[in-house]
Amino acid sequence: MTKFLVGIGYNGWILPVLLVLPLVGGLLLVLHRCTQRQDADAAMRSARSIAFWIFVAEAVLSIGLWWSIDTVSADWQAYVDVAWIPQWGARFTVGIDGIALMLILLTTLLMPLAVLGSWTSIRVNPHAFYTLLLVLTTGMLGVFMALDLAFFYVMWEVMLVPMYLIIGIWGGQRRLYASIKFFIYTMVGSLLMLVAIVSLGLQAGQGGPPVFSYDAILALTRAAPVVGSYWLFGAFALAFAVKVPMFPFHTWLPDAHVEAPTAGSVILAAIMLKMGTFGFVRFAVPLFPDVAMDPTVRTIILVLAVIGIVYGALVALVQPDFKKLVAYSSVSHLGFVILGIFAMTVESMQGALMVTISHGISTGALFLLIGMIYERRHTRQIDDFGGIAKVMPIFAVFLTVVSLSAIGVPGTNGFVGEFLVLIGSFPTQPYYTVIAATSVVFAAAYLLWAVQRIIYNPLVKPENAALKGNDLNWREIGLLTPLVIAILWLGVYPKPVLNKTEAAADRLVRSVEAARMGSMQQLPPAGGR
């Protein structure tokens, strides 16, 4: 496989192609819409199949990365560097390491499923919907592979508009409120990051034109203290914290999730939130190791993460809306990621990446399942259900398995990540870890309670009884099965994934520790900042 990939020069073109292909697909859809006069039904069918096959092609193309890149090497893999705006030092630079690899694969593999998940539910302007989905994909992939801060920022913002429109146009009752909240929340963070990026770029340019290359800025921040590094870190951290979302910047998430259409929720939860954590791993922490590891800063972030873990779980406990419940559970889960990152051990970092991936899979699957039941029942209120397992046993099985993964039952992917985070964080942050570990109880409580009220309990409501014979169809089973397989596979044999990310995590931890040691030596013993 590797030989074949080298033969076709795979690493040389794959990343740009992955970025451009969805755009081409979007263009195709637009052209299709312009040239074909179709009734609504035909439009839906043609649009979704075009999008689906584009995504499938994207997924197939991206798979090769698994073999083609060397995750152990300290160099960027599949590196492509092209001038973009030379006067500003902005370049089109992409490249990945093991961490980015996993997130890219998560994205490309989940997108076809997201399309399948919205197969029949998007009836209004399907072409536009899928075009936005495709553009969104470019943005997300761009974030994961960008190695130029200017390019990164552009990609970071690019996702915002498609998601805004997806929520706002195809969303639920309060979609208008939710979409603008999502947009503005995210923008507050990201615009400050823009200032920080420009400032860093100018400092890296050292009086000349700015330089935004990741490596150059890394070298800059490592060489000597940057002017205002606390503020710069704060700007980055805020942008990412909103995206993650960390308490108390999380309140956009429940609204966005509840109102977004299925595909939107899936992408939001499975991939977009991960950009926040990825941002921490790729930018905020490595660029400002001494700030990130500053006891005060670290404590603040850890406290927020732990609050998020417990708080998200507790609030999820009392949610009447299943989507909202899952949204708050995301707050809780992503808290683990932040805890893992800032505990700064190889194990916790690996665990954080594992949670990142497994949360993507299981929460994505949960949203798909909610979408499926919503299509049938047109409600997401937990109390409107009951006894669904009687009439939709297959749905019940999937929901149970996926919920167990979200709870973190051993043998599923959820456990591996959480366990690694906790056990990795404990040596450096025992108290926070113990508090965080209590969420194993709450997680079980909120999800099992919800699952019970949905699929168990007496089947008393006639609307639910009417679902008989309306169990999941083959498409839905087909789209959930890969996710369930992934859940179990990652739960039982996560080693391949852990191996891919190990070197990158190790490098990160070691370089941060080294930088911290260095800065501690520089400081006078009593030293303030």
Contact assessment for residue 269 and residue 363, using Cβ atoms and an 8 Å cutoff: yes
Residue closer to another protein by CB (options 112, 234) is 234
Report the alpha-carbon distance of residue 186 to residue 98 in Å, rounded: 27
Give least dist CB 139 to another protein, A: 8
Contact assessment for residue 141 and residue 107, using Cβ atoms and an 8 Å cutoff: yes
Nearest Cα neighbor of 48 from 486, 480, 479, 379 is: 479
Give least dist CB 438 to another protein, A: 6
Report the alpha-carbon distance of residue 487 to residue 507 in Å, rounded: 28
Give least dist CB 10 to another protein, A: 26
Residue closer to another protein by CB (options 119, 247) is 247
- DSSP alpha helix (H) spans, 378-494: 388-391, 393-407, 413-425, 430-437, 439-455, 462-465, 474-492
Give least dist CB 37 to another protein, A: 14
Give least dist CB 60 to another protein, A: 26
Give least dist CB 350 to another protein, A: 4
Give least dist CB 517 to another protein, A: 18
Q: Which residues contact 285 (CB under 8 A, 6 or more apart)?
A: 292, 341, 342, 508, 512
Residue closer to another protein by CB (options 292, 443) is 443
Q: What is the DSSP letter of 90?
A: E
Annotate 45-61 with b (16+ C-beta within 10 A) or e (fewer).
Answer: ebbbebbbebbebbbeb
Residue closer to another protein by CB (options 62, 319) is 319
Residue closer to another protein by CB (options 198, 218) is 198
Residue closer to another protein by CB (options 383, 522) is 383
Report the alpha-carbon distance of residue 82 to residue 19 in Å, rounded: 14
Residue closer to another protein by CB (options 14, 353) is 353
Q: Detail the DSSP E strand segments found in 117-179.
A: none
Residue closer to another protein by CB (options 294, 502) is 502
Report the alpha-carbon distance of residue 165 to residue 131 in Å, rounded: 11
Give least dist CB 446 to another protein, A: 9
Rounded alpha-carbon distances, angstroms, from residue 87 to 90, 91, 146, 212, 456: 8, 10, 19, 11, 63
